[in-house]
Amino acid sequence: MSEHTNRTDFSEADFTGYDLIVVGSGFFGLTVAERAATQLGKRVLVLERRAHLGGNAYSEPEPETGIEVHRYGAHLFHTSNKRVWEYVNQFTEFTDYQHRVFGKYQGQVYPLPMNLGLINQFFGRSHTPDEAKKLIAEQASEIETKDAQNFEEKAISLIGRPLYEAFFRGYTAKQWQTDPSELPAGNITRLPVRYNFNNRYFNDTYEGLPVDGYTAWLAKMADHENIEVRLNVDYFDLRELIPAGTPTVYTGPLDRYFDYSAGRLGWRTLDFEQEVVPTGDYQGTSVMNYNDEDVPFTRIHEFRHFHPERDYPKDKTVIVREFSRFAKEDDEPYYPINTADDRDKLERYRELAKQEAAERNVLFGGRLGTYKYLDMHMAIGSALSVFDNKIAPHLTDGAPLDGSIDA
């Protein structure tokens, strides 16, 4: 892998001789690039507008403490997809970290997701699993699920008003900057309650964190003689220099590619407030949710707890407060809002994407390129499928590119 940074003097000659252009160096883009380079022997050029590899999964040591911080929010790797697990283990070993989350409400800390421990603690008495099920069913009977008209009513119909008021109302209002009674009921499909004491956050077969961190993992994916990475390069500043018909995988915002011709898609974004605190342990766990509505942030990450096996300082720690809001034009997009209006726009962009594949050999992928919320394992799995079913047949046999963005 070679990297060129801060260049602005590109010419058409800089983009000739490549079999594949990949726009964006997140997990989707790097998976496609790695497969094309190693499995097909193709020359791949990766263009990244940021100053670093890896998209939102990028991590770096905090200078004062050396504690590894995920710059764009906590990334927890988990999957039940055996193919994805075997694929990623080519590039990194994983720790045995299992994610557990706690939530603070009115000065008390509770285990999440909702489980028997939370129920017993919140209601102040011990319940058997059957007793807890009966209690929640009684409280949820206030509203029939089929009659729920909004997010608040739907949540109450599933878990009852007391648990909703404590653990969902304030948190949801902060996440969406909207009163939950004004959010659509369809935002919730279910609210699972565990009637046991299991507070492991994910139920996947495989879980862990990369032993040497995300950046080391991502760099290894790109470490091949057939892959060239150029950082600090905006695809839109130079796409006219790319030879016509060069197969391209685009993982940036879908609406941006088409110059917002069907309107801007809605996204939520995150803001982070990082602080070095003079203590060896600030909160005793990696993630603490703040469920009270009058606390402006949604959660605090304490990154030392992601890697307890490392020799971090005993007298300092790094915390990051996370704030959620609607994304403005120049913000980093994180989560698709996916309103009915967004879905209408997306349908128009889907049609444009099919045309772009047929006319210019451009495929769209990843979270931004498909307007889907994809966890890391989902992005990798999608990239493997797109490579197998679309890119490899095109690069080896000249098969037409299928421009659908559903893979």
Say which CATH architecture domain 12-93+210-262+336-397 belongs to. Answer: 3-Layer(aba) Sandwich (3.40)
276 and 290 in contact (C-beta within 8 Å)? Answer: no
Active-site annotation holder among 194, 230, 350, 367: 194
User: Which positions ≥6 away from 167 have C-beta within 8 Å?
Assistant: 103, 105, 110, 112, 114, 118, 291
pLDDT (0 to 100) of residue 5: 63
Q: Following DSSP, what letter does each residue of 194-221 receive, concatenated?
A: -SSS---S---SEEE-BTT-HHHHHHHH
Taking alpha carbons only, the member of 369, 366, 89, 348 closest to residue 254 is 369
100 and 78 in contact (C-beta within 8 Å)? Answer: no
Neighbours of 15 (CB within 10 A): 17
373 is catalytic: yes
Structure-block tokens of residue 346: 């997306």
- C-alpha to C-alpha distance for 198 and 112, rounded to whole angstroms: 9
214 is catalytic: no
Question: In a structure prediction context, what are the per-residue pLDDT tens digits for the chain, which is 407 residues long?
Answer: 666 666 668 899 999 999 999 999 999 999 999 999 999 999 999 999 999 999 999 999 999 999 999 999 999 999 999 999 999 999 999 999 999 999 999 999 999 999 999 999 999 999 999 999 999 999 999 999 999 999 999 999 999 999 999 999 999 999 988 899 998 888 888 788 999 999 999 999 999 999 999 999 999 999 999 999 999 999 999 999 999 999 999 999 999 999 999 999 999 999 999 999 999 999 999 999 999 999 999 999 999 999 999 999 999 999 999 999 999 998 999 989 888 899 999 999 999 999 999 999 999 999 999 999 999 999 999 999 999 999 999 999 999 999 988 64
Structure-block tokens of residue 211: 């032993």
Active-site annotation holder among 71, 239, 268, 350: 268
- C-alpha to C-alpha distance for 403 and 357, rounded to whole angstroms: 5
Position 328, amino acid:
K
Active-site annotation holder among 125, 182, 310, 373: 373
271 is catalytic: no
334 is catalytic: no
pLDDT (0 to 100) of residue 368: 96
pLDDT (0 to 100) of residue 405: 80
322 is catalytic: yes
Active-site annotation holder among 169, 230, 299, 350: 299
Active-site annotation holder among 190, 225, 294, 329: 190
Does the bond joining 113 to the residue before it have cis omega, within 30 degrees of 0? yes
68 and 303 in contact (C-beta within 8 Å)? Answer: yes
- Residue 146 DSSP symbol: G
- Residue 98 DSSP symbol: -
Active-site annotation holder among 322, 356, 367, 371: 322
pLDDT (0 to 100) of residue 407: 47
Fold for 114-187, please state it. protoporphyrinogen ix oxidase, domain 3 (1.10.3110)
200 is catalytic: no
Longest Cα separation, the chain: 73
190 is catalytic: yes
